[in-house]
Amino acid sequence: MMVLTYSCMRRLCSLASQWCHQSRSECRRRLSIAAFLHSFKKRHYHIVSPGHVSPLRKVPESIPKPLYALNGSDDVVPREAEVKSAVQIAGMRRACALAASLLQFAGSYLQVGMTTDEVDRAVHEKCLARGAYPSPLLYKGYPKSICTSVNNVACHGIPDDRPLCDGDIVNVDITVFYEGFHGDTSATFLIGHVDEAGQKLVEVARRCRDAGVAVCRPGTNLRGIGKAISKCAEAEGCSVIPEFCGHGIGEYFHGPPDIIHIDYATTGKMRAGMTFTIEPIVCEGLPDFKILSDKWTAVSSDNSRSAQFEHTVLITPSGVEVLTL
């Protein structure tokens, strides 16, 4: 589950001229041309609007919960990017392994005609059965245990009663709080027969995430992640939403560093022991979005589709370890 932070917005606003070594206006000009051409293509997918959201699911008292689920207070978050101890790293590995297994389950569970609320229920129950808490539930008021973002929903889609249709693409974002640590991952799945453009978008999104992961190692500037992602997306005529960031993660859900998925100027460097998420949202149209009245669901302004893949990674002394495989 990604984050739209004040620090991300402030930093991006101050770096308007920094986007892949070009002016933002030039980059937007090229993306506008691509989006204009895209608008003439026949649409092979449904435009999604929010449906009915079912009541909150219950969590037994016996399941350990993060502070925000216990009493509504904020997580205790470090002021700077945390370098984790061996004990903390072991805890992260366990939480991330569980998140990855639940995502694999969700992907195998999806089918045409199923509602995203049914997927939420299934993952919720599996999570509790493993003694874990579904991290999104009650985080800043979020009402469900996972996020499900379909077609033109960029992120933070709330599971509801809309049935999945043949040709949909759906991102399922799963985070668990397990034995004191959060593990966060997501993937975009094809529902039934998806058109070639949708299949390509999903594959490009996967490659963009992997390109960001590939540059990670101690001493490397955090900027390299966004630079690699932008290069990969633009080579395929796609764009990346810059405002939604990856984030540090551990005993807290969201913390430093902010991982911005476009090229930008920063002096922050990766250090062994850091854990954070890489989760770019890749769009077939422009990277513009709006937040709906539920204050969570982000949809594309031009109704184009987006796809997203996410890993939680650990910076090791010799490179990077993907914790959510």
pLDDT in tens, 201-239: 999 999 999 999 999 999 999 999 999 999 999 999 999
Total Cβ atoms within 10 A of residue 7: 13
Rounded average pLDDT over 268-290? 97
Both tokens of residue 250?
């551990």
Which CATH number does the domain housing residue 90 bear? 3.90.230.10
Residue 147, H or E segment? strand 147-150
* 3-state SS assignment for residue 68: helix
| Number of domain units in the chain | 1
End-to-end CA distance of the chain: 16
Q: What pTM value is reported for the model?
A: 0.91
State the binding site for a divalent metal cation.
Answer: 173, 184, 247, 279, 310
Q: 170 in a domain, yes or no?
A: yes
* CA nearest to 159, candidates 125, 190, 122, 120: 120
Q: 253 in a domain, yes or no?
A: yes
Side-by-side strand order, sheet with 281-283? 239-240, 281-283, 306-308
Q: 27 in a domain, yes or no?
A: no
Q: 251 in a domain, yes or no?
A: yes
Domain enclosing residue 271, as ranges: 82-322
Q: 8 in a domain, yes or no?
A: no
Rounded average pLDDT over 261-273? 92
Residues 88-99 have pLDDT tens digits of: 999 999 999 999
Q: 44 in a domain, yes or no?
A: no
Residues 247-257 have pLDDT tens digits of: 999 999 999 99
Q: 25 in a domain, yes or no?
A: no
State the binding site.
Answer: 156, 173, 184, 247, 254, 279, 310
* 3-state SS assignment for residue 107: helix
State the binding site for substrate.
Answer: 156, 254
pLDDT value for 266: 79
